[in-house]
Amino acid sequence: MEADAAIRGRLIAQRSAVLARLAALTSDFDGIVAAAGGAADDEHDPDGTTAYERQHVAALIEATRARLAEVDGALARLAAGSYGICARCGHEIAAGRLAARPAATTCIGCAAG
């Protein structure tokens, strides 16, 4: 189906962008850890990185991994023929919602409730 091909293309593009973001964040995290040099008291090192910076980047990595899982889930639903069906109520997810959030698993009503 042509519509499925377009949706798949959008999801693949999103997946590529998420993977690039994940690679950049992982590189940033590795740089922060290397810059800290294993210092035990990096909270008080005015020139070095802080535990806060590490935690911030780690949280961004976690959120990006969750986003990757959402996109992968959408691709799996597309392959299974259940893409665009609300996981809660079973009704169709509005095209506008899918345009805004291609990996959405619920319709607007269920997401709000």
Q: Domain ranges in the chain? A: 2-82, 84-113
For residue 104, pLDDT beyond 70: yes
Distance CA 8, CA 2 (A): 10
Is residue 68 within 8 Å of residue 22, measured between CB atoms?
yes
For residue 34, pLDDT beyond 60: yes
Is residue 64 within 8 Å of residue 22, measured between CB atoms?
yes
Strand partners, 85: 92
pLDDT at 50: 82
- Output the pTM of the full model: 0.83
Span 40-79, pLDDT tens digits: 555 555 555 688 999 999 999 999 999 999 999 999 999 9
pLDDT at 3: 85
Distance CA 63, CA 67 (A): 6
Distance CA 18, CA 35 (A): 25
pLDDT at 35: 84
Lowest-confidence segment of 50-54, 75-79, 92-96, 103-107 by average pLDDT: 50-54
Lowest-confidence segment of 13-17, 37-41, 100-104 by average pLDDT: 37-41
Quick one: pLDDT band at residue 87, thresholds 50, 70, 90? very high
